[in-house]
Amino acid sequence: MTEICLITGNHPRHRHFASALISTGKVCAWIIEEREEFVPQPPNNITEDLKTLFTHHFNERERIENLVFGASLDAEKDVQIPIYNVNVKDLNSDETIQFVKRSSAKLVISYGCHKLSENFIKTVGGRFWNTHGGLSPEYRGVTTHFWPSYFLEPQMTGMTLHETTNFLDAGEIIFQTAAPMVRGDSLHRLAARNVEVFAKKLAEKLETLNFSNLPKGKFQVGYGKVFMGKDWRPEHLRLIYETYNDAIVDRVIDGVIEGREPKLISVFG
């Protein structure tokens, strides 16, 4: 079995994604990157009420992801494939590259790790696909499950699988999904639902994929925005929690807020 080498982060959604793909029997190796603290401390230079919102936002993310992905929190304990744990400093090291090369994988799929270097990709060779928590090209970069709700279009929350390139989330698109909104969905529950749906559907596609003739992606047409870490501020939480009480999905379902619908791409048959 030398089909897929996974490279993921270690947060609950990343472990769930890995567990879903490993269940196909197509994964031959898994690299897990230790990511930043899942529940960060609020900045010292914001008001007390913003600190409360900040703490609530990230505590709620932890609660939802543990609730939805709890069965996958110890995913690595139940698999019989080689696992390599790294931190961000070692992600692109020679040791990590050699681990991937020894797996002889035909395809490397990443999700939730930091950027893979050009040297990493060139040295390993073969195909690299990256999973991005956003619908490219409209939502690229970071925090892209937050911004659709902030811009009052939660229906544009989704996931993209694309060719890995040096440009952030700009590679040719392989596969996209957007989970249906469900009444009562909070921002974090909608995000988690999108990971659930994407992981399940991608696993189904991989089970029948011809790894000796991998499909070519579709060039991204149009322009969205590449969101950077500096774009997000705690003040953005006021709209989500104070203006809309974290019920933007319900407003869309009720027709109070209207907007565009996602146009999804898939090159799988």
| CATH class assigned to 4-253 | alpha beta
* Amino acid 168: pLDDT: 66
pLDDT for 149 equals 98
Considering the entire predicted model, what is its pTM? Answer: 0.95
* Cross-sheet strand order for the sheet of 173-177: 83-86, 27-33, 4-9, 107-111, 127-132, 159-163, 173-177
Q: Tell me the domain boundaries of the chain.
A: 4-253
Tell me the mean pLDDT per 10 residues along the chain, length 269: 91 97 96 95 97 98 96 85 97 98 97 96 95 94 96 98 81 96 98 98 96 93 85 98 98 96 92
pLDDT on residue 220: 85
**Pick from 88, 111, 104, 103: nearest CA to 174:** 111
- Compute CA 21 distance to the chain's CA centroid, rounded to the nearest angstrom: 14
Give pLDDT, residue 77: 85
Q: Which residues contact 132 (CB under 8 A, 6 or more apart)?
A: 140, 144, 159, 160, 161, 162, 169
176 Cβ contact partners less than 8 Å away, ≥ 6 residues apart: 135, 136, 158, 159, 160, 161, 262, 264, 265, 266
Residue with tokens 């494939």, as numbered in its chain: 81
Token pair 């960060």 is at which residue? 40
Gap between the Cα atoms of 180 and 173, Å rounded: 21
Report the amino acid identity of residue 186.
S
Q: What is the spatial distance between Cα 123 and Cα 86, in angstroms, rounded to a whole number? A: 18
